[in-house]
Amino acid sequence: MTVLVCVAIMLALTAFTGRTKMGKAMRACSEDKAAAQLMGIDVNRTISMTFAIGSALAAIAGVLFLSTYTSLTPTTGSMPGIKAFTAAVFGGIGSIPGALLGGLLLGVIETFARAYISTELSTAIVFGVLIIVLLVKPAGLLGKTVREKV
> Rounded distance, CA 110 to CA 116, Å?
10
CA proximity to 22, closest of 39, 56, 45: 45
Q: Say which residue, 26 or 68, is predicted with more confidence.
A: 26
* Verdict on whether the full-model pTM lies above 0.85: no
Query: 122 pLDDT band (50/70/90 cuts)?
Result: confident
Mean residue pLDDT across the chain:
86
Count of CB atoms within 10 A of residue 101's CB? Answer: 19
Query: 22 pLDDT band (50/70/90 cuts)?
Result: very high
Report the SS3 class of residue 100: helix
> How far, in whole angstroms, is CA 141 from its chain's centroid?
13
> Domain extents for the chain?
1-73, 77-150
Lowest mean pLDDT among 20-24, 25-29, 135-139: 135-139
Tell the burial category of 25 from Cβ atoms under 10 Å away from its Cβ (0-12, 13-18, 19+).
Answer: buried
Count of CB atoms within 10 A of residue 96's CB? Answer: 21
70-96 per-position pLDDT tens digit: 777 888 878 888 888 888 888 888 777
